[in-house]
Amino acid sequence: MNIEAVKAIYNFEMSRWGRTLMQSVISPVLSTCLYFIVFGSAIGSRISQVDGIDYGAFIVPGLVMMLLLTQSTLNASFGIYFPRFTGTIYEHLSAPVSPFEIVLGYVGAAATKSVILGLLVLVTASFFVKLHIAHPLWMVVFLVLTSVTFSMLGFIIGIWADGFEKLQIIPLLVIQPLTFLGGTFYSIKMLPPLWQAVTLFNPVVYLISGFRWSFFEISDVNVGVSLLMTFVFLLVCMSIVWWIFRTGYRLKA
């Protein structure tokens, strides 16, 4: 493996992120905290507890997961789209760098950014509510696995998009609504039976449920199923990325 090439791509992406701290770090963290304050106050005044957990603490894993999904996708999609837009992607393709190393550099950087943002939100939330993480190791596993999976999805979107406006279509019009409907602010057990069944078709439910289990040992679906669904989605994204480099889709045109 060409470690130097991976480090070069990774360090470039991380340095670009560092130059835009207001937009890349402070803005998403503040937005998530506002969700926490507004929803925690508005709904928390009516629902004191969910499954024995204070409502303010209950919504924290869902908010962290919402941040992870959107930021992982946006960071990775912009990271690979910008070289395509400027034409520098051809330098990567013609250099002695394998597709795996290119993906590792871009996806690794995007996932790192998302994990840092997620941890910052957790630290910030601890000032408002009392957080208890029952399974810290599993919390980290879900945090990293989700970040890598949706960074891979963002990489695919960055290859597919042929304009800056398309970079935001899926994160903002698909992923974010699915996150709101996936149990971020409530347990799906609070829904009528019919809607509980419908909600299970939302893949984000499994991510939020598994992540919340690592905090409070409560979940809407079995934690093993949550982990399996995350791995399945990761494998699907990896297969699509392999196909992109195998065929040169939107890379060699």
Q: What is the pTM of this model?
A: 0.91
DSSP category for residue 174: I
Reduced to 3 states, what is the DSSP secondary structure of residue 203?
helix
172-213 confidence digits (pLDDT tens): 889 988 998 888 888 898 889 998 899 999 999 999 999 999
**In contact, 199 and 53? CB cutoff 8 Å:** no
| Beta partners for residue 50, in sequence order | 53
Q: Examine the pLDDT at 51 and tell me if it is beyond 90.
A: no
Q: Which carries the bigger pLDDT value, residue 63 or residue 89?
A: 63
Tens of pLDDT, residues 94-140: 888 888 999 999 999 999 999 999 999 998 888 888 888 999 999 99
Chain-centroid distance, C-alpha 185: 17
Q: Is the pLDDT of residue 237 over 80?
A: yes
* pLDDT higher at 172 or 215: 215
The one-character DSSP state at 164 is G
Sketch the domain layout of the chain as residue ranges. 3-247
